[in-house]
Structure 1
């Protein structure tokens, strides 16, 4: 079926947000989607530091993202916003890399006081890249056990996450149907 790109903004290989993103990928694969995981860790640090958009790594990420039918972007909350390394990556991707794509934003954080980081930090930059933002998912660190196959241990958050993922899948299907009817 359609390809979904999952973009992780976590600089840590075994972070809570990374584990939740992998879990969402597993759920999407159960729905017969092909899923490509992309991480800021896949980009050489010198590329991000210098803002070099014309490297093989950046071209590959741009191609995978543009070819995807939907994109999930996740990050832990750092200083009230998404990770700086994610910002560095988003800054060097093409301006319309998310054009006409459903985008599901996800953030993980240590307290409810950072809940609005998804609204005031992550969603605006995704909209600037021409993505169609869904409501999004915010999960507290205390609601995640990164040792488990399903890392979301709070049942209410798990159900809300699945509901948002369902909306995301519906939009991907609608976008596919619309694109098919135009050709």
Structure 2
């Protein structure tokens, strides 16, 4: 099966975005695909800020993207765009680092007013890096993801039925495209 890199651009360890990522990851893995997650905020800040292309952490993160058949780019929306920490990492990817990859954007924001942030802020940058094949993205608002406080160390989330359905459709489309590519390449 295929390998999907998930790039999380959230600067917050308890972000509702994590609930979306976890749900998508489980759906993808249930179809037999492998996932590798890059949590950008976990990369050394000095490497990101000083654009250290050759640092071991950046080289490893870029290897994960290079070896992936598809890339999910996930971010909360701040001021009508993806996060600065995600941008700092995207700037360290090779110029054509997304060429030939399927891309699925997953965004979450406080309001529907930023629904087009995927199309107007993310896709142009990714297109300049060779991304040509996008599956339907998912934009969710905060109220569709609830944090569950059950006393455990790990933050858990509950997603609304509509959001679950949209994520399932995105994963199905990603799976179908990956299977079609695999059959074509045999």
Q: TM-score, normalised by structure 1?
A: 0.92
Q: Structure 2 unaligned runs (5+)?
A: 149-154
Partners in 2 of 1:8 and 1:54 — Cα distance? 21
The residue aligned with 1:134 is 135
* Aligned residue among 142, 151, 158 for 2:158: 151
3-state SS of 1:93 partner: coil
Contact 1:77 1:109 in 2 (8 A): yes
The superposition leaves residues 22-43 of structure 1 with CA deviations (integer Å, 9 ceiling, x where unpaired) of 2111111111111111111231
The residue aligned with 1:174 is 180
The superposition leaves residues 52-74 of structure 1 with CA deviations (integer Å, 9 ceiling, x where unpaired) of 11111111111111111111110
Contact 1:75 1:82 in 2 (8 A): yes
1:78 aligns with 2:78: yes
The residue aligned with 2:116 is 116
Partners in 2 of 1:152 and 1:125 — Cα distance? 29
3-state SS of 1:138 partner: strand
The residue aligned with 2:152 is none
Q: Structure 1 unaligned runs (5+)?
A: none
Partners in 1 of 2:147 and 2:183 — Cα distance? 36
Q: Going by fraction, where is strand more abundant, 1 or 2?
A: 2
Alpha-carbon RMSD: 1.5
The residue aligned with 1:53 is 53
1:62 aligns with 2:68: no
The residue aligned with 2:169 is 163
3-state SS of 1:146 partner: strand
Contact 1:23 1:149 in 2 (8 A): no
Contact 1:43 1:57 in 2 (8 A): yes
Q: Going by fraction, where is helix more abundant, 1 or 2?
A: 1
The residue aligned with 2:151 is none
Count, aligned residues: 179
